[in-house]
Homo-oligomer: A and B are copies of this chain.
Amino acid sequence: MNTYRITERNQVKRLPKRASYDRETVYKILDAAFVCHVGFVVEGQPFVIPTAYGRDGDKIYIHGATKSRMLAHMEQGLPVCLTVTHLDGIVVARSTFHSSVNYRSVMVFGQAKPVGNDRKSYALEVITNQIINGRWEEARPPHEKELKGTTVLAIEIESASAKIRTGGPNDEKEDYDLDIWAGIIPLRMIAGTPVADEWLREGLPIPPSAKNYQYAKGK
């Protein structure tokens, strides 16, 4: 299936023309970031926590310390909503009413389930390489003890939707005659030059993963 089924849960109600349920569109937005905001509920109270993630097919992996509150709650199979947003620009309209923001976002719905010991290392590889492609192959792999101290959760994408806004302002017809400037201020995330750790062994060159790093290059 190349699109996610539209249900009450994932249907974009507001400005549906900005919505997409296309799997490739959802994947592309997910693959261009590595920090999501994951929401879950404890006794009626919502919590929204920023966390790193990695996508592998229709699975999203997140991880953390075994004693973290988020993971302790979520691994009970709670429903989660995982949202990723790229901020692409400010839409400067002639009217305050039509001022807006350009963005690409995805909402993923599913349940978080613990990843067994046999798959933990693989899931961590997915997360590590989503943050910085190729780093898993360069860095020291996790010890048994480190793996034990890490909880990894997999969220199977049950349902998802993307929402995208691009382009300039859509002002009211009569406002185009006003003497008010309108346009876009583009925004983007950029990576600076890698900074070596102060305790780095002398003579170690910057590895390809860091040297060629570009934010949002995807996997």
* Interface residues of A, Cβ cutoff 8 Å to B: 9, 13-15, 34-35, 37-41, 44-50, 52, 64-65, 67-70, 79-83, 85, 87, 90, 92-97, 99, 101, 103, 105, 107, 109, 124-125, 128, 131-132, 135-136, 138-143, 146, 150, 168-169, 175-201, 204-207, 209-210, 213, 215
Contact = CB atoms under 8 A, between A and B. Distances in A.
A32 to B, nearest CB: 13
A39 B79 CA distance: 13
A65 B16 CA distance: 13
Contact of A140 (B82, B141, B178): B178
Nearest to A87: B35
Nearest to A34: B101
Nearest to A169: B197
Contact of A38 (B14, B48, B79): B48
A92 B136 CA distance: 11
A185 B213 CA distance: 8
A108 to B, nearest CB: 9
Contact of A139 (B79, B138, B180, B204): B180
Of the candidates A138, A195, A197, A207, the one having the most CB atoms from chain B within 10 angstroms of its own CB is: A197
Given A35-B87, A47-B81, A50-B83, A184 B180 contact: no
Contacts of A191: 90, 185-187
B139 A93 contact: yes
Given A101-B52, A195-B186, A135 B96 contact: yes
B185 A107 contact: no
A138 B99 CA distance: 12
A35 B85 contact: yes
Contacts of A194: 92, 183-185
Given A39-B46, A181-B207, 6 more contacts: A14-B69, A46-B81, A49-B107, A50-B105, A177-B201, A182-B196
